Each structure stands twice: as C-alpha cells, then as structure tokens.
Amino acid sequence: MKIKMIKPVGRKPVYDLSINSDDYDEQHYILENGIVTHNTGIYYSSDNIWIIGRQQEKEGSDIAGYHFIINVEKSRYVKEKSKIPITVTWNGGINKWSGLMEIALEAQYIAKPSNGWYQLVNRETGELIGEKMRAKDIQNNGEFWTRLFNETDFPDYIKKRYTGETVMFKEEEIL
C-alpha cells in the first residue's frame, strides 16, 4: 500500500486501542473501512517517561538531603536519554545551581587542572583563566554562575543539550 496524499485535518482526538494480547498472537488488527490499529501499550502512548534515581547527601554520618538524577526515557519536551541532576537538602531546599558544575566540566567551560582544583577555561584559546577554586567554592557560588551565564554562551549550550533540534511542523502548518 502506498500513501497517495497527506491532508491536514486540524486537531482531532486520538485513541490508543488495545486488547489483551494473551488472547491473540498478532499485535495489530484490521478494523472496518481499512483502519489498522496496533497494541501500543503504555510506553508508546505516553508523552513523557522520566525515571528518578537518588543518592543521599550526607553531612558527616547524617542524611542532609538527596541528589536526584532524572533520566529522561521519553519526552516531547526534553531530549531523550538526558540526565538532569538536582540536589535537594533539608536546610536549603532545591539547590538553584544543581548539576551545573558537571555540565560545565563536560562542555569544557571549567577544567580540572589538578586533583581537587577547578578553573574557568577560555573556550576559544583553551587557556585556563582566573584563579583555581575548590568544588565547594563553585557549586553554590551564585556570583560564579551568574558570570558564566552572562559572559559566555553556556546558556545556549544547556539549551542545545536538553532540547530537541528538529521541528516536525510549524504551528501554523498544523492549524
């Protein structure tokens, strides 16, 4: 069978039809008027599937909060297979700068010139700039992150890393 024409029909309701597959060998079914359906299951009919993992944040031997990693298995809004790190502590709530250090290291906005020390990188020349700092001096440093966001293309890198780059249809083409 070949497609002869695709004609926009506007927004219409869509239904996921399924039957108990234990009763049948086939996973697709021909309905009346040549309409074919397929048992898609919950995975295919979901808009988003995010799996959340966590690790304890400790201060000494006491639990002070959690480091969450959101694994994006399926999404219409975030690039699939993305990992979104978020730190939540009992005292401070959600850390505003969660996960940015890992992303900045991955993208080479920050380098690790020696064990335990970090430094900004001039991405055009590859030169290390500014003073060396410890991780704890960077992770919750609003002044540091504000500077990185305002003086580099780091926000563009983050946007590109987490959003899809293809647009199937422009809004005016669908309506």
Residues 115-158: tens digit of each pLDDT:
999 999 998 898 998 889 999 899 889 999 998 999 899 999 99
Q: Is residue 173 part of a domain?
A: no
Q: Are 52 and 26 found together in one domain?
A: no
What is the pTM assigned to this prediction?
A: 0.62
Q: Is residue 6 part of a domain?
A: no
Q: Are 51 and 41 found together in one domain?
A: no
CA distances from 56 to 66, 140, 141 (A): 5, 18, 22
Q: How many domains does the chain have?
A: 3
For the residues 30-55, what does the mean pLDDT come to?
A: 73
Residue 58 lies in domain: 47-95
C-alpha to C-alpha distance for 165 and 28, rounded to whole angstroms:
32
